[in-house]
Copies of this chain bind each other. A is one copy, B any other.
């Protein structure tokens, strides 16, 4: 009988695992169990459907279950939720949701790609009507059904992170009045406060009523109760972040890693033989701090899923780690970050100097040159690059990749400054913003008494 690989979860990490395992082992029986109706979709695209720049949620599907069956001979079973893992018996307990029955399925190899769940704080009224998370296509369908045909005037977004801001923008574009509430002093907690302030400015300029340092205390129909009074809300969007959906694996005895995620090694192997995990449910190593952390990002899910799949398919592949590189384009600005921010450096015990610059996206003499703010953190004494952030107009965001590459290579500030980067007036000023920020950081570092 053929060996059987069961994959739990049919999105990025699950499907890149399954398809890469198939490449290595044509002989393997591969079953993919997905509790929702969809496979391989871009959850990151949901705000653009809500905002109207993408027509349909179907456009976000990269590969349908049927395509995956046909192209990769995967036994894809949607609406099948795994409710228990018996590692000794090497058997799963599976709930077939449409048939409303429970079945059991044996496995030789297991790939856990259960993703992350949106955080839903335990507040009064949180389970009331018109309160939506936006983690899956199902969430998005529910949201779109909930707004369909209604006139939505007031939207409250709880949480001013990536998804919160993207959804806030989407509802402004639909003509709603949007209020955004976040407990932190500035939006976008993965940035430092000084860079968050530039984001706050962009959010407000876009017409969103941003209320930082304010906490939500509960919900009632048509209202959000905050520490600073009630807000009218025809609709509430929760954008508070996500937590790894690791309970199933941990309950089965798989060892936990960082922040409640499933612990994996550099080949995506868990503590249990033949059991792999990848994507938002697993932890990863941070390339600068060398600590294991948890991030929930589509890029990382794709990459770690691919590594797991190659190893499951009998190949050899390792995942070197992440920098937490992320970008968004929202409220007419681009926002990006990579590596460690100030708080993360402090937590890791790494001392640093900061360099900042206010630059332009193009040569300053061009009419369409726009402002950008860049920041670089370098290690004290070694001047090694630790991280950086950028907030600016069109074309600012992807510049973070240059810094991410330099950090991965272990470069110091001088090496960044020496890089032969591309210049042409309509594309960039003669010195890249991160090169200028690195110069500023070196100036600060050299002013320090030895």
Could you list which residues of chain A lie within 8 angstroms of chain B, going by C-beta atoms? 42, 44-45, 48, 53-54, 59-60, 162, 287, 297-300, 302-303, 319-329, 334, 336, 338, 363, 365-367, 395, 397-402, 404-406, 408-411, 415, 418-428, 430-432
Contacts and interface: CB of A to CB of B under 8 A. Distances in A.
B302 A430 contact: yes
A424 B46 CA distance: 11
A430 B299 contact: yes
Nearest to A303: B418
B405 A409 contact: yes
Nearest to A407: B420
B324 A420 contact: yes
B401 A422 contact: yes
9 contacts: A48-B366, A300-B420, A324-B420, A328-B427, A329-B427, A338-B422, A402-B402, A404-B419, A408-B409
Given A327-B427, A430-B298, A420 B399 contact: no
A32 B359 CA distance: 29
Contact of A319 (B300, B400, B418, B432): B418
B59 A365 contact: yes
Contacts of A366: 45, 48, 53-54
A62 to B, nearest CB: 9
Given A302-B431, A338-B420, A398-B422, 13 more contacts: A45-B366, A54-B366, A320-B415, A326-B423, A327-B424, A338-B422, A398-B398, A398-B428, A402-B405, A404-B421, A405-B419, A405-B421, A408-B420
B421 A325 contact: yes
Contacts of A432: 401
Given A59-B365, A406-B405, A398 B427 contact: yes
A325 B418 CA distance: 12
A162 B323 CA distance: 36
B408 A299 contact: no
Contacts of A300: 420
Contacts of A411: 409
B327 A428 contact: yes
Contact of A401 (B54, B322, B365, B421): B421
Contacts of A53: 366-367
A210 B355 CA distance: 46
A299 B425 CA distance: 11
Contacts of A365: 42, 45, 48, 54, 59-60
Contacts of A423: 44, 297-299, 326-327
